[in-house]
Amino acid sequence: MKNIFFSKSTNILLLSTVIFSGLSWNIKPEVDNNSDKPKITIDGFTFSDLNQNGKLDKYEDYRLPMKDRIKDLISKMTDDEKANMLVGIGMPGFDLNTFKFTTEGFQGKVPGAAGGTFELKRLGIPTVTVSDGPAGLRINPKRNNDPNYYYATAFPVGTALASTWNTELIYSVGKAIGNEVKEYGVDVLLGPGMNIHRNPLCGRNFEYFSEDPLLSGKISAAIVNGIQFNGVGTSVKHFAANNQERNRLGVNVHISERALREIYLRGFEIAVKEAQPWTIMSSYNSINGTFASERYDLLTTVLRKEWGFKGIVMTDWFGGYKDLKAPFTPNIVSNVTAQLSAGNDLLMPGLPSQQQAILDNIKSGKLTTAVINNNLTRILELVFKSPSMNNYKYSDKPNLKANAEVTRQVAAEGTILLKNNSNTLPIKSTKIPLAIFGNTSYDFISGGTGSGDVNETYTVSLIDGLTNNGFVIDFELEGLYKPYVIDQKAKELERRDKNGGILATAKRIVELELNKTLIESKANSSEIALITIGRNAGEGDDRKVDEDFNLAGDEISLINNVSETFHAKGKKVIVVLNIGGVVETASWKDKVDAILLPWQPGQEGGNSVADVLSGKVTPSGKLTMTFPENFLDTPSSKYWNGFPEENPTNVTYDEGVYVGYRYFNTFKVKPSYEFGFGLSYTSFDVANLKLSATNFAEKMTATVTVTNTGKTAGKEVVQLYLSAPSINTDKPSSELKSFAKTKLLQPGESQTLTLAINTKDLASFITDKNAWIAEAGSYKITIGTSSLNSKQVAQFYLDKELVVEKTNSSFAIDTKFSDLKN
Ligand code: BGC
C-alpha cells in the first residue's frame, strides 16, 4: 500500500500532519506549547488571546465589528494557512478501507464527527466540528479508554417529521436536536436534508421531506430555526437536484431552469429566506454538465445574490470528484479553483492534494485574492460565531430524557392513518392477546442507513411499545419470531459490516414462514392481527421495484394467509408500515381493515405507534408525497435514475414541473393514496372560507373554520391549493401554497385558521423572460384536507400581469430535451 505524507507547518512550534496510511486516515494532534497565556484588561474587558508580543490583535478584540476583525485575521495568515483553511481536516477516526468509524488513532474533538475546519493554533483559531444528521446527532457512542457512553437521540426520519405538517412541533424537535449538538461539543449539524422526492425509489428519500417544495421549505426552516436557536449551525443539504443515490457523484442531471427553480430550488429558497442556515452543503451531482460545487450561478448568483444567503457553502464529502476512487488516485484533484470561485467556500472532508492545488493556484494567480478572501471571510464568520471559538464548555450530557419525550410525541404526530374500516382503530380491548406478525414488529426500524443513521441507546420495538401501553401480546408468536429476527439481523449486520460499512445496501429479512394451523389457532385466540411490513434503505444506492417498492412474495403470502384466516372468523387485521419510502399498496390494501404508516419513527417508535394504536393519540399525519397505484404511474418512472442503468452518467428530468401530485392531479392519474391524505379517529368540518379581498394586491389571506364534529379530540391539517390561469404558460392544475394545522380540538370545538399567500405564490417561472410572472385572470383557491379532497373553494382576480421577480439567466441546458406539458 502506498503512503502519502502531507505536512503543513505553521509559524510557531506546531506541526500538523495528515497521514494516509493506505486508505486509513489519521491526523496527528497538534502540540500546543502555548497554554499559559497572559491576559490583558482594556476598558474593563479581559482578553487572554494575546499575540507573541503580549499585545491584543485587532481580530481578537470582540468589541470591534466582525468584518474588521476578519480582515485583520486574514491579513495575518500565510498562503499556506489560507489554503489549509479552505479545506477540511479529513475524517478523523474514519477508516476508508472499511468505510467505518473506528476507535483507533486520532479521533478529533468529537469522535465519530464527520469532519471539521482547520485549526490555526498560531492565531488561536479552533476547529469547527461538523457532524451528521439529519435524524439526530451522529457521533460514536463509545470512545477509546473511556467508560462513558455518548449516545444521541434518534428522532423520526425527515419524511416522518414532515408528515406532521406541524412547523411549531418541528421547531421544538430542532431545539432538542440542537441541544445534543451543542452539549456534545459539535458546532454544525449536517442536516436537514431536503431534496425533493422525485421518485419513490431514491434510497435517501427517508432523510428528505416531501415531493412538494413549499412543504419541504417550511419544515426545513422550522427545524433549522430550532437547531440554530441553540447557537449551533446547520448544513442544509444537498444543494441541488440530488434526487438519486446511484452514481450520485458522477451523474449529470439534465434539467430545465423552470423545473429547477419551481421544484428543486424553491424549498431551499424558503429555508434560506426564513431561517438563514449557517451553512449549505452543495451536492455531488452535476447539473447540466457542471458539478453543483462548481456552479457560480447556483452557489453565488441564485443562492447569495438573489436569495440573500449569508453563510458558507461546503461540498458534500469528496464533492467535485466523479466517484469515490478518484480522490485517492494519484494526480486527480477536484477543480479547486472552479469550486472556490463558484462560491463553494469549503472543500470537505478535505484532502492534502486539494490544499496543495489551492496553494499552487494562489501562486500562479489562477485563484485570485478576491475569491479566496470571500471564501475565507465566510468561513471565519462561521468560526467566530461557533461554540468552539467561544470556548463553550459543553457538558457531554445533553437532555436525553426530555428529548426521548420529544421524539415519542413527534413520531406519533407524524403517523398517518391510511385506512380504518369500521373503526378498527383505535384498538379497544387490551385483555385479549394481540396476534403480532411480521419480523419488523419485533425489531422496529428507527431510521435509515448511511450517514443519516444515528447511534441511539435503544429502539423501542412495536411489541415493547404495545406492552408498555398495557396491551397483552401473544407469547407463542413472540417466542417464534424473536429468535429468528435476532439471528437474521445479526447476519445482516455482519454482511453490511463487511460490504461497504456505512454505505452498505440494506437487505430485507425474509418473513418467518408460519404454517396455516398456527395462524388458525391465533385467529381463534385473538381478536386482532397486526402485521408490520418493514423497509430499510440509505445512502449509496437506490431502492428496487421488485421486492422493495412492490411487496415480496413472502410478505404478500403473510398478508393473504393472516387476513383470510382472521376474516373467516370475523376478526380484524391491521398493517403497520415501518418504512422509509413509498411502497405499493393498491394490490393488497383491500385485504386488510386498517393501515397505519408511522414511517421510521425514531428510537421511541414502538411507544409512539402504540400511542396511536391505543387511541392515546389521534392520528393527524398527512402524506407528503403520492402513493401511486403502480410504480410505472410515477411520471419519472422510466429510466428514472438515468443511463446506463447500472452506473448512470446521465439523467433527464423531462417530467419538468410535473413531480408528484402536480402530475397525478393534472393528468388525472388515480393514485393509491394522494398527496396530503391522512385519516383521523374523529371527523372535521371545514367551513366558512373567506378571502381578505377578491382582487389580489401584494398579499392575501384566507380564513377558514375547522370544527371537530366527531367524538374524539384531534387535530386537522388544512391545505391551500392554488389553480392559476394558464393562458400563456402550461401549469399544474393546482399547487400547495399554504397550510396550517389546528391545535388539539375537543369534540365540538372550532378554530379559525388563517392562511397567507404572497405574490410569488401566484407566479410561474418563465425561462425566456428570466422572471417569475403571475398571469392576469381568475385564480381558484381550494381548501382541502388532501390534494384531492376539496372542502371549500373561492376565487380571486389579478387584474394585470405581474412580473413578480426578475432573475439572472442561469442553468443553461447542455443537451436538447423538452419538459412534459399538459
Ligand atoms: C453524505 C452527506 C453527509 C456526508 C458526511 C456524504 O456521503 O452525502 O449527507 O453529510 O457524507 O458524512
* Sequential DSSP letters for 386-429: STTTTT----S---HHHHHHHHHHHHHHT-EEEEEGGG--S---
The answer to whether the beta carbons of residues 522 and 569 sit under 8 Å apart is no
Mean pLDDT of 237-254: 98
The answer to whether the beta carbons of residues 266 and 210 sit under 8 Å apart is no
Mean pLDDT of 42-56: 69
51 pLDDT tier (thresholds 50, 70, 90): low
Question: Could you confirm whether 316 is annotated as catalytic?
Answer: yes
**Confidence (pTM):** 0.95
Question: What gap in Å lies between CA 330 and CA 333, rounded to an integer?
Answer: 8
Closest residue to atom 2 of ligand 1, CA basis: 316
Residue 95: alpha-carbon gap to chain centroid: 25
49 pLDDT tier (thresholds 50, 70, 90): low
Number of other CB atoms surrounding residue 625 within 10 Å: 30
The predicted-structure confidence for 127-173, as pLDDT tens digits, reads as follows 999 999 999 999 999 999 999 999 999 999 999 999 999 999 999 99
Grid coordinates given for 3: 503512503
Mean pLDDT of 18-26: 38
CA distances from 505 to 275, 312, 493, 672 (A): 34, 32, 11, 28
Grid coordinates given for 714: 384531534
Tell me the CB-side half-sphere exposure of residue 221, using CA atoms within 13 A: 21
Please give the distance, rounded to the nearest whole angstrom, from the Cα atom of residue 757 to the centre of ligand 1: 35
Please give the distance, rounded to the nearest whole angstrom, from the Cα atom of residue 394 to the centre of ligand 1: 25
Provide the Cα torsion 168, 174, 180, 185; round to 10°. Answer: -140
Number of other CB atoms surrounding residue 274 within 10 Å: 15
Counting ligand 1 atoms within 8 A of each CB, the residue from 238, 242, 451, 502 with the most, and so the one to mutate, is 451
The predicted-structure confidence for 451-493, as pLDDT tens digits, reads as follows 999 999 999 999 999 999 999 999 999 999 999 999 999 999 9
336 pLDDT tier (thresholds 50, 70, 90): very high
Local structure of 434: helix, strand or coil = strand
Beta sheet of 24-27, edge-to-edge order: 3-9, 15-21, 24-27, 94-95, 100-101
* Ligand 1 atom at minimum distance from 115 CA: 5
Closest residue to atom 4 of ligand 1, CA basis: 317
Please give the distance, rounded to the nearest whole angstrom, from the Cα atom of residue 463 to the centre of ligand 1: 33
The predicted-structure confidence for 762-809, as pLDDT tens digits, reads as follows 999 999 999 999 999 999 999 999 999 999 999 999 999 999 999 999
* Ligand 1 atom at minimum distance from 237 CA: 9
Would you say residue 290 has pLDDT above 80? yes
Question: What gap in Å lies between CA 190 and CA 453, rounded to an integer?
Answer: 12
The answer to whether the beta carbons of residues 345 and 379 sit under 8 Å apart is yes
Phi, psi (degrees; rounded to nearest 5) at 643: -115, 155
Question: What gap in Å lies between CA 169 and CA 162, rounded to an integer?
Answer: 10
Kind of pairing between the strands at 671-673 and 764-766: unpaired
Question: What gap in Å lies between CA 311 and CA 345, rounded to an integer?
Answer: 10
Would you say residue 9 has pLDDT above 60? no
| 182-210 burial: b if 16+ Cβ within 10 Å, else e | bbbbbbbbbbbbbbbbbbbbbbbbbbbbb
Counting ligand 1 atoms within 8 A of each CB, the residue from 317, 323, 542 with the most, and so the one to mutate, is 317
* Ligand 1 atom at minimum distance from 138 CA: 12
- The sign one gets for the Cα dihedral 352, 357, 360, 361 is negative
Contacting residues for 694 by C-beta, under 8 A, at least 6 apart: 795, 796, 797
* Ligand 1 atom at minimum distance from 238 CA: 9
Question: Could you tell me where the beta strands, DSSP code E, fall in 152-240?
Answer: 188-190, 233-239
Measured between alpha carbons, how far apart are the two ends of the chain, in Å?
57
Mean pLDDT of 197-226: 98
Phi-psi label, residue 22: left if phi above 0, alpha if psi -120 to 50, beta otherwise: left
Closest residue to atom 11 of ligand 1, CA basis: 317
* Ligand 1 atom at minimum distance from 207 CA: 9
106 pLDDT tier (thresholds 50, 70, 90): confident
The answer to whether the beta carbons of residues 636 and 662 sit under 8 Å apart is no
Question: What gap in Å lies between CA 659 and CA 197, rounded to an integer?
Answer: 8
Contacting residues for 772 by C-beta, under 8 A, at least 6 apart: 261, 760, 763, 764, 765, 766, 803, 804, 805, 807
Please give the distance, rounded to the nearest whole angstrom, from the Cα atom of residue 88 to the centre of ligand 1: 14
What percent of the chain has pLDDT above 70?
A: 94
Grid coordinates given for 476: 407463542
Contacting residues for 414 by C-beta, under 8 A, at least 6 apart: 156, 160, 161, 162, 163, 164, 598, 599, 601, 621
Would you state the pLDDT for residue 343?
A: 98
Counting ligand 1 atoms within 8 A of each CB, the residue from 249, 284, 316 with the most, and so the one to mutate, is 316
Closest residue to atom 7 of ligand 1, CA basis: 317
- Nearest Cα neighbor of 320 from 480, 158, 86 is 86
- The sign one gets for the Cα dihedral 607, 610, 611, 616 is negative
Please give the distance, rounded to the nearest whole angstrom, from the Cα atom of residue 627 to the centre of ligand 1: 28
Number of other CB atoms surrounding residue 426 within 10 Å: 18
* Least confidently predicted of 95-99, 205-209, 240-244, 608-612: 95-99
Phi, psi (degrees; rounded to nearest 5) at 302: -80, -55
Mean pLDDT of 224-247: 98
* Helical (H) or strand (E) element with 354: helix 352-364
CA distances from 628 to 158, 199, 259, 515 (A): 20, 10, 21, 32
Please give the distance, rounded to the nearest whole angstrom, from the Cα atom of residue 205 to the centre of ligand 1: 14
Would you say residue 12 has pLDDT above 50? no
* Ligand 1 atom at minimum distance from 452 CA: 9
The predicted-structure confidence for 667-707, as pLDDT tens digits, reads as follows 999 999 999 999 999 999 999 999 999 999 989 999 999 99
Please give the distance, rounded to the nearest whole angstrom, from the Cα atom of residue 621 to the centre of ligand 1: 28
* Least confidently predicted of 120-124, 246-250, 501-505, 756-760: 501-505
| 708-747 burial: b if 16+ Cβ within 10 Å, else e | bebeebbbbbbbbbbbbbeeeeebbbbbbbbbbbbeebee
38 pLDDT tier (thresholds 50, 70, 90): low
Closest residue to atom 3 of ligand 1, CA basis: 451
Closest residue to atom 8 of ligand 1, CA basis: 316
Which of 132, 297, 316, 593 is flagged as catalytic?
A: 316
Contacting residues for 320 by C-beta, under 8 A, at least 6 apart: 291, 293, 294, 334, 335, 336, 339, 344, 347
Please give the distance, rounded to the nearest whole angstrom, from the Cα atom of residue 317 to the centre of ligand 1: 6
Question: Could you tell me where the beta strands, DSSP code E, fall in 231-358?
Answer: 233-239, 252-254, 279-282, 286-287, 290-291, 312-315
Please give the distance, rounded to the nearest whole angstrom, from the Cα atom of residue 346 to the centre of ligand 1: 14
Contacting residues for 131 by C-beta, under 8 A, at least 6 apart: 110, 112, 113, 114, 137, 138, 139, 181, 186, 188, 189, 190
Would you say residue 367 has pLDDT above 60? yes
The predicted-structure confidence for 539-564, as pLDDT tens digits, reads as follows 999 999 999 999 999 999 999 999 99
Phi, psi (degrees; rounded to nearest 5) at 129: -90, 130
Question: What gap in Å lies between CA 514 and CA 438, rounded to an integer?
Answer: 10
The predicted-structure confidence for 656-677, as pLDDT tens digits, reads as follows 999 999 999 999 999 999 999 9
Residues with CB under 6 A from ligand 1: 114, 132, 190, 237, 316-317, 451, 539
* Ligand 1 atom at minimum distance from 503 CA: 7
Counting ligand 1 atoms within 8 A of each CB, the residue from 99, 188, 190 with the most, and so the one to mutate, is 190
Counting ligand 1 atoms within 8 A of each CB, the residue from 539, 541, 542 with the most, and so the one to mutate, is 539
Please give the distance, rounded to the nearest whole angstrom, from the Cα atom of residue 109 to the centre of ligand 1: 19
